[in-house]
Amino acid sequence: MSERGCLRANDWICGEYVSSRSQELVDATVEHVGITSASVAIGLLVAFPLALLARRRGAFAGPVLGLTSVLYTVPSLAMFSLLMPLFGVSVSVVVTGLVLYSLTVLVRNILAGLDAVPEEAREAARGMGYGPIRLLFEVELPLSLPALLGGVRIAAVSTIALTTVGAIVGYGGLGTLILEGLDSNFKAQVLTASVICVVLAVAADVMLLAVQRVLTPWTRGRVRAGKGP
Protein backbone atom coordinates (compact mmCIF):
# COMPACT_ATOMS: atom_id res chain seq x y z
CA MET A 1 0.00 0.00 0.00
CA SER A 2 1.36 3.47 -0.82
CA GLU A 3 2.22 5.98 1.88
CA ARG A 4 -0.68 8.16 0.75
CA GLY A 5 -2.89 5.12 0.98
CA CYS A 6 -1.89 4.67 4.62
CA LEU A 7 -3.64 7.93 5.48
CA ARG A 8 -6.86 6.76 3.82
CA ALA A 9 -6.54 3.39 5.57
CA ASN A 10 -5.87 5.13 8.90
CA ASP A 11 -2.80 2.98 9.60
CA TRP A 12 -0.85 3.32 12.83
CA ILE A 13 2.45 3.73 10.98
CA CYS A 14 2.21 6.25 8.16
CA GLY A 15 5.11 8.09 6.57
CA GLU A 16 2.78 10.39 4.67
CA TYR A 17 1.39 11.69 7.96
CA VAL A 18 4.88 12.61 9.17
CA SER A 19 5.80 14.38 5.92
CA SER A 20 2.49 16.20 5.50
CA ARG A 21 2.23 17.30 9.14
CA SER A 22 5.93 17.88 9.82
CA GLN A 23 5.50 21.53 10.84
CA GLU A 24 2.68 20.62 13.21
CA LEU A 25 4.86 17.95 14.80
CA VAL A 26 7.81 20.34 15.10
CA ASP A 27 5.66 23.04 16.71
CA ALA A 28 4.19 20.57 19.21
CA THR A 29 7.65 19.21 20.03
CA VAL A 30 9.08 22.70 20.56
CA GLU A 31 6.17 23.57 22.86
CA HIS A 32 6.66 20.30 24.76
CA VAL A 33 10.38 20.92 25.25
CA GLY A 34 9.76 24.54 26.23
CA ILE A 35 7.18 23.68 28.89
CA THR A 36 9.33 20.87 30.26
CA SER A 37 12.50 22.96 30.39
CA ALA A 38 10.77 25.90 32.07
CA SER A 39 9.07 23.67 34.62
CA VAL A 40 12.24 21.83 35.64
CA ALA A 41 14.28 25.05 35.78
CA ILE A 42 11.71 26.86 37.92
CA GLY A 43 11.27 23.74 40.06
CA LEU A 44 15.01 23.68 40.74
CA LEU A 45 15.00 27.37 41.69
CA VAL A 46 12.13 26.76 44.13
CA ALA A 47 13.44 23.46 45.48
CA PHE A 48 16.90 24.75 46.33
CA PRO A 49 15.87 27.30 49.00
CA LEU A 50 13.26 24.88 50.34
CA ALA A 51 15.93 22.20 50.76
CA LEU A 52 18.27 24.67 52.48
CA LEU A 53 15.45 25.75 54.79
CA ALA A 54 14.63 22.14 55.67
CA ARG A 55 18.31 21.40 56.29
CA ARG A 56 19.25 24.42 58.38
CA ARG A 57 16.00 24.68 60.32
CA GLY A 58 15.10 21.22 61.55
CA ALA A 59 11.59 22.30 62.51
CA PHE A 60 10.82 23.00 58.85
CA ALA A 61 12.11 19.68 57.49
CA GLY A 62 8.94 17.72 58.26
CA PRO A 63 6.50 20.31 56.85
CA VAL A 64 8.56 20.91 53.70
CA LEU A 65 8.99 17.22 52.91
CA GLY A 66 5.42 16.44 53.88
CA LEU A 67 3.94 19.22 51.73
CA THR A 68 5.96 18.31 48.65
CA SER A 69 4.98 14.66 49.08
CA VAL A 70 1.29 15.54 49.40
CA LEU A 71 1.45 17.70 46.26
CA TYR A 72 2.86 14.76 44.32
CA THR A 73 -0.13 12.59 45.27
CA VAL A 74 -2.65 15.01 43.76
CA PRO A 75 -3.87 13.64 40.38
CA SER A 76 -2.67 15.77 37.49
CA LEU A 77 -6.18 16.48 36.18
CA ALA A 78 -7.23 17.68 39.63
CA MET A 79 -4.06 19.75 40.02
CA PHE A 80 -4.55 21.59 36.75
CA SER A 81 -8.25 22.11 37.50
CA LEU A 82 -7.43 23.60 40.91
CA LEU A 83 -4.93 26.01 39.33
CA MET A 84 -7.25 27.23 36.57
CA PRO A 85 -9.14 29.71 38.81
CA LEU A 86 -5.77 31.33 39.60
CA PHE A 87 -4.22 31.41 36.13
CA GLY A 88 -7.13 30.91 33.76
CA VAL A 89 -6.75 28.70 30.71
CA SER A 90 -3.08 29.36 30.02
CA VAL A 91 0.32 27.73 29.85
CA SER A 92 0.94 29.01 33.41
CA VAL A 93 -1.48 26.37 34.69
CA VAL A 94 0.62 23.59 33.17
CA VAL A 95 4.00 25.01 34.19
CA THR A 96 2.89 25.70 37.77
CA GLY A 97 1.45 22.21 38.15
CA LEU A 98 4.61 20.61 36.79
CA VAL A 99 6.79 22.72 39.07
CA LEU A 100 4.80 21.55 42.09
CA TYR A 101 5.16 17.92 41.01
CA SER A 102 8.92 18.27 40.54
CA LEU A 103 9.51 19.55 44.08
CA THR A 104 9.21 16.13 45.70
CA VAL A 105 12.10 14.67 43.74
CA LEU A 106 14.25 17.79 43.64
CA VAL A 107 13.99 18.73 47.33
CA ARG A 108 14.74 15.20 48.49
CA ASN A 109 17.70 14.77 46.15
CA ILE A 110 19.21 18.12 47.08
CA LEU A 111 18.93 17.19 50.75
CA ALA A 112 20.40 13.75 50.10
CA GLY A 113 23.32 15.28 48.21
CA LEU A 114 24.08 17.82 50.92
CA ASP A 115 23.81 15.20 53.66
CA ALA A 116 26.28 12.98 51.78
CA VAL A 117 29.04 15.61 51.86
CA PRO A 118 31.81 14.26 54.15
CA GLU A 119 32.04 16.17 57.41
CA GLU A 120 35.82 16.25 57.11
CA ALA A 121 35.45 18.27 53.90
CA ARG A 122 33.36 20.83 55.74
CA GLU A 123 35.80 20.97 58.64
CA ALA A 124 38.74 21.44 56.29
CA ALA A 125 36.96 24.29 54.52
CA ARG A 126 36.06 25.97 57.79
CA GLY A 127 39.70 25.65 58.87
CA MET A 128 40.67 27.53 55.71
CA GLY A 129 38.36 30.37 56.67
CA TYR A 130 35.32 29.51 54.55
CA GLY A 131 32.09 31.17 55.70
CA PRO A 132 28.65 29.53 55.39
CA ILE A 133 27.91 30.93 51.91
CA ARG A 134 31.32 30.11 50.46
CA LEU A 135 31.21 26.68 52.10
CA LEU A 136 27.85 25.98 50.48
CA PHE A 137 28.70 27.07 46.94
CA GLU A 138 32.35 26.04 46.74
CA VAL A 139 32.36 22.82 48.76
CA GLU A 140 28.95 21.37 49.55
CA LEU A 141 27.18 21.97 46.24
CA PRO A 142 29.99 20.61 44.03
CA LEU A 143 30.22 17.47 46.17
CA SER A 144 26.43 17.02 46.16
CA LEU A 145 26.15 17.27 42.35
CA PRO A 146 25.71 13.50 41.73
CA ALA A 147 22.53 13.33 43.82
CA LEU A 148 21.30 16.75 42.66
CA LEU A 149 21.73 15.95 38.97
CA GLY A 150 20.20 12.53 39.53
CA GLY A 151 17.12 14.30 40.83
CA VAL A 152 17.08 16.63 37.83
CA ARG A 153 17.18 13.60 35.52
CA ILE A 154 14.21 11.99 37.25
CA ALA A 155 12.29 15.28 37.32
CA ALA A 156 12.96 15.93 33.63
CA VAL A 157 11.80 12.51 32.46
CA SER A 158 8.66 12.55 34.62
CA THR A 159 7.87 16.12 33.54
CA ILE A 160 8.09 15.17 29.86
CA ALA A 161 5.44 12.54 30.54
CA LEU A 162 3.22 14.80 32.66
CA THR A 163 3.35 17.66 30.15
CA THR A 164 1.04 15.66 27.91
CA VAL A 165 -1.75 16.11 30.47
CA GLY A 166 -1.63 19.83 29.74
CA ALA A 167 -3.65 19.01 26.64
CA ILE A 168 -6.78 19.46 28.75
CA VAL A 169 -6.11 23.22 28.75
CA GLY A 170 -4.67 23.30 25.22
CA TYR A 171 -1.00 23.49 26.26
CA GLY A 172 0.16 19.91 26.25
CA GLY A 173 2.69 20.00 23.45
CA LEU A 174 2.67 16.53 21.94
CA GLY A 175 -0.10 15.61 24.38
CA THR A 176 -2.44 17.91 22.47
CA LEU A 177 -1.82 15.89 19.30
CA ILE A 178 -2.33 12.64 21.20
CA LEU A 179 -5.64 13.85 22.64
CA GLU A 180 -6.87 15.15 19.30
CA GLY A 181 -5.84 11.89 17.65
CA LEU A 182 -7.69 9.83 20.24
CA ASP A 183 -10.83 11.96 19.85
CA SER A 184 -10.81 11.52 16.07
CA ASN A 185 -9.37 7.98 16.04
CA PHE A 186 -6.41 9.27 14.01
CA LYS A 187 -4.04 6.38 14.66
CA ALA A 188 -0.93 7.74 12.95
CA GLN A 189 -1.12 10.98 14.92
CA VAL A 190 -1.50 9.18 18.24
CA LEU A 191 1.40 6.81 17.62
CA THR A 192 3.76 9.40 16.11
CA ALA A 193 3.26 11.92 18.93
CA SER A 194 3.63 9.15 21.53
CA VAL A 195 6.86 7.91 19.98
CA ILE A 196 8.30 11.43 19.93
CA CYS A 197 7.46 11.76 23.65
CA VAL A 198 9.38 8.58 24.38
CA VAL A 199 12.32 9.77 22.27
CA LEU A 200 12.34 13.10 24.13
CA ALA A 201 12.40 11.33 27.50
CA VAL A 202 15.26 9.04 26.47
CA ALA A 203 17.21 11.91 24.90
CA ALA A 204 16.78 14.09 28.00
CA ASP A 205 17.96 11.30 30.28
CA VAL A 206 21.01 10.54 28.11
CA MET A 207 21.92 14.21 27.77
CA LEU A 208 21.63 14.91 31.50
CA LEU A 209 23.58 11.75 32.29
CA ALA A 210 26.36 13.01 30.01
CA VAL A 211 26.32 16.38 31.79
CA GLN A 212 26.46 14.59 35.13
CA ARG A 213 29.48 12.54 34.04
CA VAL A 214 31.30 15.67 32.81
CA LEU A 215 30.61 17.63 36.00
CA THR A 216 31.38 14.76 38.39
CA PRO A 217 34.48 13.00 36.99
CA TRP A 218 35.43 11.71 40.45
CA THR A 219 32.40 9.40 40.49
CA ARG A 220 33.71 7.59 37.40
CA GLY A 221 36.96 6.97 39.22
CA ARG A 222 35.11 5.38 42.13
CA VAL A 223 33.13 3.12 39.79
CA ARG A 224 36.27 1.92 38.02
CA ALA A 225 38.02 1.35 41.33
CA GLY A 226 35.10 -0.75 42.56
CA LYS A 227 35.22 -3.07 39.54
CA GLY A 228 38.57 -4.53 40.51
CA PRO A 229 41.07 -6.08 38.04
Cα distance between residue 17 and residue 10, in whole Å: 10
Exposed e or buried b per residue across 179-199, where buried means at least 16 C-beta atoms within 10 angstroms of its C-beta:
bebeeeebbbbbbbbbebbee
List, in sequence order, the alpha helices (H) in 57-184: 58-73, 76-87, 91-115, 119-127, 132-135, 141-163, 174-184
Domain locations along the chain: 11-215
Q: How distant is the alpha carbon of residue 146 from its chain centre?
A: 16
| Spatial CB neighbours of 122, under 8 Å, sequence gap ≥ 6 | 135, 139, 140
Q: What integer pLDDT is reported at residue 229 of this predicted model?
A: 43
Predicted confidence (pLDDT) per residue in 97-144, tens digit? 999 999 999 999 999 888 888 888 888 888 888 888 888 888 888 888
CA terminus-to-terminus distance, the chain: 56
What is the widest separation between alpha-carbon atoms in the chain? 75
* pLDDT band at residue 156 using 50, 70 and 90 as cut-offs: very high
Q: Which CATH class is domain 11-215?
A: mainly alpha
Q: What integer pLDDT is reported at residue 223 of this predicted model?
A: 46
